[in-house]
Amino acid sequence: MKLILLGPPGAGKGTQAVRISERYGIPQLSTGDMLRAAVAAETPVGLAAKDIMARGELVPDDVVVQIISDRIDQPDCKNGFILDGFPRTVAQAEALEGLLKSKNMQLDSVVELAVDDAILIERIEKRAKETVGGPRADDNAEALKKRLDVYHAQTTPLISHYSGKEILRSVDGMSEIDRVTSDIISVLESA
Ligand code: ADP
Protein backbone atom coordinates (compact mmCIF):
# COMPACT_ATOMS: atom_id res chain seq x y z
CA MET A 1 0.00 0.00 0.00
CA LYS A 2 1.31 3.41 -1.00
CA LEU A 3 -0.26 6.34 0.67
CA ILE A 4 0.13 9.97 1.51
CA LEU A 5 -0.88 11.43 4.86
CA LEU A 6 -1.78 15.03 4.24
CA GLY A 7 -2.50 17.65 6.86
CA PRO A 8 -1.30 20.80 8.57
CA PRO A 9 1.54 20.94 11.11
CA GLY A 10 0.26 19.49 14.37
CA ALA A 11 -2.50 17.45 12.68
CA GLY A 12 -1.05 14.24 14.06
CA LYS A 13 0.44 12.87 10.83
CA GLY A 14 3.52 11.53 12.60
CA THR A 15 1.55 9.80 15.37
CA GLN A 16 -0.86 8.20 12.93
CA ALA A 17 1.87 7.28 10.44
CA VAL A 18 3.64 5.21 13.11
CA ARG A 19 0.44 3.29 13.83
CA ILE A 20 -0.42 2.71 10.18
CA SER A 21 3.17 1.68 9.54
CA GLU A 22 2.94 -0.98 12.28
CA ARG A 23 -0.41 -2.25 11.12
CA TYR A 24 0.55 -2.74 7.47
CA GLY A 25 4.28 -3.39 7.90
CA ILE A 26 5.27 -0.54 5.62
CA PRO A 27 7.75 2.23 6.48
CA GLN A 28 6.87 5.80 7.39
CA LEU A 29 8.77 8.24 5.19
CA SER A 30 8.80 11.60 6.95
CA THR A 31 10.66 14.31 5.05
CA GLY A 32 10.66 16.42 8.24
CA ASP A 33 12.42 13.63 10.19
CA MET A 34 14.86 12.97 7.35
CA LEU A 35 15.68 16.67 7.07
CA ARG A 36 16.13 17.00 10.86
CA ALA A 37 18.51 14.03 10.74
CA ALA A 38 20.44 15.75 7.93
CA VAL A 39 20.61 18.96 9.99
CA ALA A 40 21.89 17.04 13.03
CA ALA A 41 24.50 15.20 10.93
CA GLU A 42 25.54 18.48 9.29
CA THR A 43 25.37 17.01 5.78
CA PRO A 44 25.34 19.48 2.84
CA VAL A 45 21.54 19.10 2.60
CA GLY A 46 21.23 19.65 6.34
CA LEU A 47 23.41 22.74 6.32
CA ALA A 48 21.32 24.22 3.48
CA ALA A 49 18.01 23.31 5.13
CA LYS A 50 18.71 24.34 8.73
CA ASP A 51 17.79 28.04 8.63
CA ILE A 52 14.92 27.55 6.19
CA MET A 53 13.36 25.00 8.54
CA ALA A 54 13.90 27.13 11.64
CA ARG A 55 11.97 29.94 9.93
CA GLY A 56 9.12 27.58 9.10
CA GLU A 57 9.59 27.92 5.35
CA LEU A 58 9.81 25.13 2.80
CA VAL A 59 13.05 23.53 1.70
CA PRO A 60 13.37 23.65 -2.14
CA ASP A 61 11.26 21.10 -4.01
CA ASP A 62 14.21 19.47 -5.81
CA VAL A 63 15.92 18.74 -2.48
CA VAL A 64 12.97 16.90 -0.93
CA VAL A 65 12.06 15.15 -4.19
CA GLN A 66 15.60 13.73 -4.37
CA ILE A 67 15.45 12.61 -0.73
CA ILE A 68 12.17 10.79 -1.34
CA SER A 69 13.31 9.28 -4.63
CA ASP A 70 16.41 7.80 -2.95
CA ARG A 71 14.40 6.56 0.01
CA ILE A 72 11.75 4.83 -2.13
CA ASP A 73 14.54 2.88 -3.83
CA GLN A 74 15.39 1.16 -0.55
CA PRO A 75 14.25 -2.49 -0.39
CA ASP A 76 11.91 -1.91 2.58
CA CYS A 77 9.69 0.26 0.36
CA LYS A 78 8.97 -2.52 -2.10
CA ASN A 79 5.55 -3.35 -0.64
CA GLY A 80 4.57 0.19 0.08
CA PHE A 81 5.15 3.22 2.28
CA ILE A 82 3.48 6.11 4.02
CA LEU A 83 4.52 9.55 2.93
CA ASP A 84 4.33 11.93 5.89
CA GLY A 85 5.00 15.59 5.14
CA PHE A 86 5.54 15.03 1.44
CA PRO A 87 4.35 16.24 -1.03
CA ARG A 88 3.77 19.75 0.29
CA THR A 89 3.41 21.66 -2.98
CA VAL A 90 1.69 20.89 -6.27
CA ALA A 91 5.14 20.81 -7.93
CA GLN A 92 6.24 18.12 -5.44
CA ALA A 93 3.06 16.15 -6.14
CA GLU A 94 3.74 16.29 -9.86
CA ALA A 95 7.35 15.26 -9.37
CA LEU A 96 6.15 12.36 -7.20
CA GLU A 97 3.79 11.21 -9.94
CA GLY A 98 6.64 11.13 -12.48
CA LEU A 99 8.89 9.41 -10.02
CA LEU A 100 6.40 6.66 -9.16
CA LYS A 101 5.63 6.11 -12.82
CA SER A 102 9.32 5.66 -13.61
CA LYS A 103 9.56 3.10 -10.79
CA ASN A 104 6.36 1.33 -11.95
CA MET A 105 4.54 2.21 -8.77
CA GLN A 106 1.13 3.68 -8.13
CA LEU A 107 -0.35 5.69 -5.30
CA ASP A 108 -3.32 4.01 -3.59
CA SER A 109 -4.71 6.70 -1.31
CA VAL A 110 -4.25 10.20 -0.02
CA VAL A 111 -5.64 10.63 3.48
CA GLU A 112 -6.26 14.16 4.66
CA LEU A 113 -6.27 14.77 8.43
CA ALA A 114 -8.51 17.77 8.93
CA VAL A 115 -7.89 19.94 12.01
CA ASP A 116 -8.88 23.56 12.72
CA ASP A 117 -6.10 26.14 13.08
CA ALA A 118 -6.98 27.07 16.69
CA ILE A 119 -6.49 23.46 17.76
CA LEU A 120 -3.21 23.15 15.85
CA ILE A 121 -1.73 26.14 17.64
CA GLU A 122 -2.73 24.70 21.02
CA ARG A 123 -1.27 21.28 20.18
CA ILE A 124 2.06 22.60 18.94
CA GLU A 125 2.48 24.89 21.95
CA LYS A 126 1.84 21.87 24.16
CA ARG A 127 4.30 19.71 22.16
CA ALA A 128 6.97 22.41 22.46
CA LYS A 129 6.62 22.38 26.26
CA GLU A 130 6.61 18.60 26.58
CA THR A 131 9.40 17.60 24.18
CA VAL A 132 12.23 15.91 26.03
CA GLY A 133 15.52 17.56 25.06
CA GLY A 134 13.84 20.87 24.32
CA PRO A 135 11.46 22.08 21.63
CA ARG A 136 12.16 21.77 17.91
CA ALA A 137 13.80 24.84 16.38
CA ASP A 138 10.53 25.58 14.55
CA ASP A 139 8.10 25.06 17.45
CA ASN A 140 7.95 28.73 18.45
CA ALA A 141 5.11 31.20 17.86
CA GLU A 142 6.70 32.96 14.89
CA ALA A 143 7.81 29.87 12.96
CA LEU A 144 4.53 28.16 13.76
CA LYS A 145 2.51 31.00 12.28
CA LYS A 146 4.74 30.82 9.22
CA ARG A 147 4.25 27.03 8.92
CA LEU A 148 0.48 27.45 9.05
CA ASP A 149 0.56 30.25 6.46
CA VAL A 150 2.78 28.14 4.21
CA TYR A 151 0.44 25.19 4.64
CA HIS A 152 -2.62 27.22 3.63
CA ALA A 153 -0.87 28.88 0.71
CA GLN A 154 1.19 26.01 -0.72
CA THR A 155 -0.15 22.70 0.58
CA THR A 156 -3.96 23.06 0.64
CA PRO A 157 -4.03 23.23 -3.20
CA LEU A 158 -3.05 19.54 -3.01
CA ILE A 159 -6.48 18.74 -1.60
CA SER A 160 -8.22 19.68 -4.84
CA HIS A 161 -5.33 18.22 -6.84
CA TYR A 162 -5.98 14.78 -5.30
CA SER A 163 -9.75 15.03 -5.01
CA GLY A 164 -9.72 15.56 -8.78
CA LYS A 165 -7.88 12.25 -9.08
CA GLU A 166 -10.48 10.60 -6.83
CA ILE A 167 -7.96 9.15 -4.38
CA LEU A 168 -8.51 11.67 -1.60
CA ARG A 169 -10.14 10.53 1.65
CA SER A 170 -10.72 12.92 4.52
CA VAL A 171 -10.62 11.99 8.19
CA ASP A 172 -11.52 14.17 11.17
CA GLY A 173 -8.17 14.72 12.91
CA MET A 174 -9.87 16.28 15.93
CA SER A 175 -11.28 13.01 17.25
CA GLU A 176 -9.28 11.19 19.92
CA ILE A 177 -6.12 9.44 18.73
CA ASP A 178 -7.46 5.84 18.59
CA ARG A 179 -10.57 6.99 16.78
CA VAL A 180 -8.48 8.82 14.15
CA THR A 181 -6.44 5.63 13.63
CA SER A 182 -9.53 3.47 13.17
CA ASP A 183 -11.09 6.05 10.84
CA ILE A 184 -7.93 6.04 8.71
CA ILE A 185 -7.93 2.24 8.57
CA SER A 186 -11.56 2.17 7.55
CA VAL A 187 -11.09 4.67 4.72
CA LEU A 188 -8.04 2.75 3.52
CA GLU A 189 -9.88 -0.55 3.56
CA SER A 190 -12.95 0.78 1.81
CA ALA A 191 -10.82 2.42 -0.90
P1 ADP B 1 5.27 19.98 10.56
O2 ADP B 1 4.35 19.27 9.61
O3 ADP B 1 4.92 19.79 12.00
O4 ADP B 1 5.45 21.44 10.23
P5 ADP B 1 7.58 18.48 9.50
O6 ADP B 1 8.45 17.69 10.39
O7 ADP B 1 6.75 17.74 8.51
O8 ADP B 1 6.69 19.36 10.48
O9 ADP B 1 8.44 19.55 8.71
C10 ADP B 1 9.31 20.45 9.35
C11 ADP B 1 9.98 21.36 8.33
O12 ADP B 1 10.77 20.57 7.42
C13 ADP B 1 9.04 22.15 7.41
O14 ADP B 1 8.55 23.34 8.01
C15 ADP B 1 9.95 22.42 6.21
O16 ADP B 1 10.88 23.44 6.48
C17 ADP B 1 10.74 21.13 6.11
N18 ADP B 1 10.05 20.16 5.21
C19 ADP B 1 9.56 18.94 5.57
N20 ADP B 1 8.98 18.34 4.51
C21 ADP B 1 9.12 19.19 3.46
C22 ADP B 1 8.72 19.16 2.11
N23 ADP B 1 8.03 18.11 1.60
N24 ADP B 1 9.02 20.21 1.31
C25 ADP B 1 9.70 21.26 1.79
N26 ADP B 1 10.09 21.37 3.06
C27 ADP B 1 9.81 20.35 3.90
pTM over the 0.85 mark? yes
Residue 73 lies in a domain: yes
Please identify, by atom number, the ligand 1 atom nearest to the C-alpha of residue 68.
23
Give the per-residue pLDDT at 62: 97
Q: 33 lies in which domain range?
A: 2-116+155-190
Count up the domains in the chain and report the number: 1
User: What pLDDT shows up at residue 135?
Assistant: 83
* Atom 18 of ligand 1, nearest CA residue: 32
Pocket test for ligand 1, best of 68, 147, 156 (most atoms within 8 A of CB): 147
Does any domain span residue 131?
A: no
The pLDDT assigned to 96 comes to 98
Burial-class residue 62 by CB neighbours within 10 Å (0-12, 13-18, 19+): exposed
User: Closest Cα to atom 2, ligand 1: which residue?
Assistant: 9
Selection from 128, 25, 167, 137 nearest residue 82 by Cα: 25
pLDDT of residue 47: 97
Q: What's the CATH number where 61 sits?
A: 3.40.50.300
pLDDT at res. 127: 85
Ligand 1 within 6 A of 31 CB? Answer: yes
Asked whether residue 128 is domain-assigned, the answer is no
Q: Are 173 and 11 in contact (CB under 8 A)?
A: yes
**pLDDT reported for residue 123:** 87
Residue 132 placed within a domain: no
Mean pLDDT by 10 residues, the chain (191 residues): 96 96 98 97 97 97 97 96 98 97 95 94 87 86 92 97 93 97 96 76
* Residue 137 domain flag: no
Q: Residue 140 falls within a domain, yes or no?
A: no
Q: Are 96 and 161 in contact (CB under 8 A)?
A: no
Distances in Å between the Cα of 187 and the Cα atoms of 89, 120, 184 are 24, 23, 5
65 lines ligand 1 (CB under 6 A): no
**136 among known catalytic residues:** yes
- Look at residue 36 and tell me if it is in a domain: yes
| Sheet architecture: strand order including 168-172 | 28-30, 81-84, 2-6, 109-114, 168-172
